[in-house]
Amino acid sequence: MNGAAQVLAVVIAALLASVWLMESFFYRNPRLYPLFLLKPGDFGAVRLWIVNLGFYNLTTGVALALGVALARTGHVPQGEALVAFTAAQHIFLALVLLVTERRLWLNSLLEGVPATVLLILVL
């Protein structure tokens, strides 16, 4: 895996960790309402899903970091496979987000474009 792919994978992993914090712990913050299309009355109804989604994002960020670590320690095929799968997964999820909620088109781009670039760099 080339250096550019490794750097991008680590950057995306860090972004996913910040999304984990926002989704799992700070989703009630009024500044995040537009990001999640939430209103204060929605908190009870969405808590289960948004917290779960946050931890899902954390684990995929860890998968990217682990893939880079594997590649850097001589397990290049395994690391590339893990990074490529995770990038492809995020491309798919960005498309699902776009199809299911068009108002979140920017979120979809922010998830899908870096993942697409990463997948191209890995392949």
| Structural domain containing residue 71 | 3-122
Residue 21 pLDDT greater than 80, yes or no: yes
User: pLDDT-based confidence at 119, cuts 50/70/90?
Assistant: very high
pTM of the predicted structure, to 2 decimals = 0.88
> For the chain, what is the domain count?
1
Chain centroid, CA 77 distance in Å: 22
Predicted pLDDT at 36: 79
Ranking 34-43, 56-65, 67-76, 105-114 by mean pLDDT, the lowest is: 34-43
| Per-residue pLDDT tens over the stretch 44-99 | 888 888 899 899 999 999 999 999 999 999 999 999 999 999 999 999 999 999 99
Radius of gyration (Cα) for the chain, nearest Å?
15
Q: What is the DSSP string of the chain?
A: --HHHHHHHHHHHHHHHHHHHHHHTSTTSGGGHHHHT--GGGHHHHHHHHHHHHHHHHHHHHHHHHHHHHHHTT-HHHHHHHHHHHHHHHHHHHHHHHHH-GGGHHHHHHHHHHHHHHHHHH-
Residue 41 pLDDT greater than 90, yes or no: no
Q: Region 97-117: what's the mean pLDDT? A: 94
Predicted pLDDT at 45: 85
